[in-house]
Chain A
Amino acid sequence: MSTLLQVLLRSLETGAIYALATLGIIIVFRTNRMINFAQGVMGMVGAYIVTVLNQNFQLPLLLSILIGIVAAIAIGFLVDFVIIRRTKKVTGTGKEIITLGMMMVFLGMTPMIFGVDPMRLPKVIETGELSIGGANLSFNSLLNIVVGIGLTVALFTILQKTKLGLAIRTTASNEKTARLMGVPTKWVTLFAWALALVLGTLAGVMIAPSTSVTVNLMDSVQVNAFIACVLGGFQTFYGPVIGAYIIAIATNLLSYYVSSVWGTQILYALVIIFIVFRPVGLIGKRMTNKV
């Protein structure tokens, strides 16, 4: 029982990380109508900035994270200003190709700026743990869980209750009409890209202490976040978040109880089989194309 609880608690932590990365993907998808394949590497760049500030410049971790977030916002603005604004006339596939190109640029630039040696990022809370029903939960994991859920809730409140959220939802539902109605869609996409960068950076900072900071830092997070979007459906903001937690729980359960080597592969295969029967995902409407 305590092992099951342990696995579930760990799933909540990985779920929080996946949820943040997933939200980054979905907010760009909904407002720009494009799948951002560069989400993972953008988070990786953010995590690198935090790590370098903390390790090479000896800044306190929290300050490094804060500067990292500011830098992420700046990169998000830059990406939107320099590239995304010019893609209005490009087809959907063209936009996706552009995100793949951005991914290559980021992947090439990272070792150039930050060097090729793997780095380490410490945890925010180094020591201490809770004991819940025989399962252990470190304070840092608890913090990650709280940050994950807290940010998700905050984001949904913004989406549902504020004027900015209304603008985002209108843009997501129909960009052209939104623009005609006076919604500043340019600011909405700008906000979406900055937010995606910040969420990616936070996910990177959360996953970094459990591994080393390299260019491949976010690879598995990115794949899991995409799988979560597929599972939850691209039509809503909350579907993918539910998907992220399901993926996290299923990965950990499968790799603990079934096979530590083949667990992930089995899960991906299951999700692919799932979309055969329900192509729109758990929560989703069928997209229809009007002639």
Chain B
Amino acid sequence: MNSKSTKTYLSYIIFGVVLAALPLLVSTGIIKTSWVGIIGGTIIYAIAGLGLNLLLGYSGLISLGTAGFMGLGAYISAYISGDLGLPWELGMLLAIVIPLAFGILIGLASLRMEGLYLGIVTLCVSEILRKTFDELEPITGGFSGKKADFPTLFGVIELDQNTTYILLVVVLVLLMILTYNLANGQLGRALHAMRGSQVAAQAMGVSLLKYRLIAFALATAYASLAGALYVHFIRFVYPSTWTLSVSLVIMALVVIGGLRSIFGTFIGAVIVYALPDLLLKNIPVIGDINGLSYIFSGVLIILVVLFYPGGVVNLFSSIGNKFKKNDSSAATLATAADAAGETPVAAATTEGTEASNE
């Protein structure tokens, strides 16, 4: 542990404390009760987004199976803690382990081929899972949906909506710290090397399949955890929830927020998930139009990829760079390295890597 990572951890924890204060603000009446639900949903999307960011941002692979794995996690957790009456913690554990094992199998089958197939295979897997959710009525409740309860921690502490929300914040902060460590550890370095040059990375002994598989498995685990949290926060789940559009929204938030940026993922989730709910719907006339938030995210994705590959989080760092001379050279270095998708965040991570090597 060095001072840089301590500082980063601290920023995540402060961020978490600020987020956790939301129910307090609601009880004083400053903001509406519905905000807890919306920001809670944002956190769940951000959790799935963090996993996808490891995959998409670091290894450049697209997964369209996020929704399927979220659904799988949700149903497993709801079934174990609801129908079987087993502890909530066990349900969560299995809701991560089973999709993870499944994800590793799919990764093994599809990642050997230039990464081209992962998007397509995960699309098909998501489709298989969605059909299975429809048909497997004893576990999923079929079309009529399935109920779940707020979690009961250690069999004694029963949570309500506000405390479940705080649980979500805690999980988010823990995952942000975990993601930071993964991105700056061996995995992150290997994926960075692969992104620079696959051939050079292979020559240095980095196994493409191994690290891509790890990245995909992590994305799966994060998604299923997000799904399991979803079912205990929203307390209701339909098979029609887990369509391709959820996977698209999560990919959108990762791209818009900023690839390879942890805070960026959350900012992306706010822009894609919370902003349409909080702002767009309140605008007269155009707010009533169906699918407006969809067009909004779609156009944003295209604009970000074409003109601002660093994502929205880059706005903050480019403003910051105007005031700091030293950082700007690092940023130009990073942009020179890969014209199509580098961010100053990558410069920050390289610094982190250097620091950890000391």
A102 with B294: in contact, given A91-B60, A97-B62, A272-B106 (CB under 8 Å)? no
Task: Return the contact of A35 from the options B116, B252, B305, B340 (Cβ within 8 A).
Answer: B116
Instruction: Identify which of A138-146, A148-156, A194-202, A258-266 touches chain B.
Output: A258-266
Tell me if B1 is interfacial: C-beta within 8 Å of chain A.
Answer: no
Give the nearest-CB partner of B113 in chain A: A279
Q: Which residues of A contact B156 (CB under 8 A)?
A: none
Give the nearest-CB partner of B61 in chain A: A93
Instruction: Identify which of B8-16, B39-47, B123-131 touches chain A.
Output: B123-131
A291 with B60: in contact, given A103-B298, A279-B112 (CB under 8 Å)? no
Most chain A Cβ neighbours within 10 Å, of B127, B300, B339:
B127
Whole-angstrom CA separation of A291 from B340 in the bound complex: 19
Give the nearest-CB partner of A272 in chain B: B109
Tell me if B295 is interfacial: C-beta within 8 Å of chain A.
Answer: yes
Instruction: Identify which of B29-37, B72-80, B145-153, B243-251 touches chain A.
Output: B243-251
Tell me if A163 is interfacial: C-beta within 8 Å of chain B.
Answer: no
Q: Which residues 214-268 in A have Cβ within 8 Å of B in the complex?
A: 219-220, 223, 226-227, 229-230, 234, 261-262, 264-265, 268
A97 with B305: in contact, given A102-B298, A107-B291, A111-B290 (CB under 8 Å)? yes
Q: Is the CB of B309 within 8 A of A110?
A: no
Q: Which residues 256-291 in A have Cβ within 8 Å of B in the complex?
A: 261-262, 264-265, 268-269, 271-273, 275-276, 279-280, 287, 289, 291
A96 with B119: in contact, given A223-B124, A289-B198 (CB under 8 Å)? yes
Q: Which residues of B contact A287 (CB under 8 A)?
A: 114
A89 with B123: in contact, given A94-B309, A104-B252 (CB under 8 Å)? no
Q: Which residues of A contact B112 (CB under 8 A)?
A: 276, 279
A112 with B290: in contact, given A101-B252, A262-B135 (CB under 8 Å)? yes
Q: Which residues of B contact A279 (CB under 8 A)?
A: 112-113, 117
Tell me if A100 is interfacial: C-beta within 8 Å of chain B.
Answer: yes
Give the distance to chain B from A184, nearest Cβ to Cβ, in Å: 23
Whole-angstrom CA separation of A83 from B307 in the bound complex: 11
Tell me if B132 is interfacial: C-beta within 8 Å of chain A.
Answer: yes
Give the distance to chain A from B169, nearest Cβ to Cβ, in Å: 28
Tell me if B215 is interfacial: C-beta within 8 Å of chain A.
Answer: no
Task: Return the contact of B121 from the options A83, A108, A230, A289 (Cβ within 8 A).
Answer: A230
Tell me if B319 is interfacial: C-beta within 8 Å of chain A.
Answer: no
Tell me if B341 is interfacial: C-beta within 8 Å of chain A.
Answer: yes
Q: Is the CB of B294 within 8 A of A226?
A: no
Tell me if B56 is interfacial: C-beta within 8 Å of chain A.
Answer: yes
Q: Is the CB of A265 within 8 A of B245?
A: no
Q: Which residues of A contact B291 (CB under 8 A)?
A: 107-112
Tell me if B120 is interfacial: C-beta within 8 Å of chain A.
Answer: yes
Q: Which residues 80-105 in A have Cβ within 8 Å of B in the complex?
A: 83, 86-87, 89-94, 96-98, 100-105
Q: Is the CB of B298 within 8 A of A94?
A: no
Q: Is the CB of B301 within 8 A of A97?
A: yes
Q: Which residues 44-77 in A have Cβ within 8 Å of B in the complex?
A: none
Give the nearest-CB partner of B251 in chain A: A100
Task: Return the contact of B298 from the options A89, A104, A219 (Cβ within 8 A).
Answer: A104
B19-55: contact bitstring with A at CB < 8 Å (1 yes, 0 no)? 0000000000000000000000000000000000000
Q: Which residues of A contact B294 (CB under 8 A)?
A: 104-105, 107-108
User: Which residues of B does A touch, CB under 8 Å?
Assistant: 56, 60-62, 64, 106, 108-110, 112-114, 116-117, 119-121, 123-125, 127-128, 131-132, 135, 198-199, 244-245, 248, 251-252, 255, 289-302, 305-306, 309, 339-341
User: Which residues of A does B touch, CB under 8 Å?
Assistant: 35, 37, 83, 86-87, 89-94, 96-98, 100-112, 116, 219-220, 223, 226-227, 229-230, 234, 261-262, 264-265, 268-269, 271-273, 275-276, 279-280, 287, 289, 291
With A104-B252, A108-B298, A265-B128 known, 13 other A-B pairs at CB within 8 A are A93-B56, A94-B341, A97-B255, A100-B62, A103-B298, A105-B294, A105-B295, A110-B291, A112-B289, A112-B292, A112-B295, A223-B123, A227-B124
Can you give 26 A-B contacts (C-beta < 8 A)? A87-B305, A89-B340, A90-B340, A91-B60, A92-B60, A94-B305, A97-B301, A98-B306, A101-B252, A105-B302, A109-B291, A112-B290, A112-B292, A223-B123, A226-B123, A265-B131, A268-B124, A269-B128, A271-B124, A272-B110, A272-B121, A275-B109, A275-B113, A287-B114, A289-B198, A289-B199
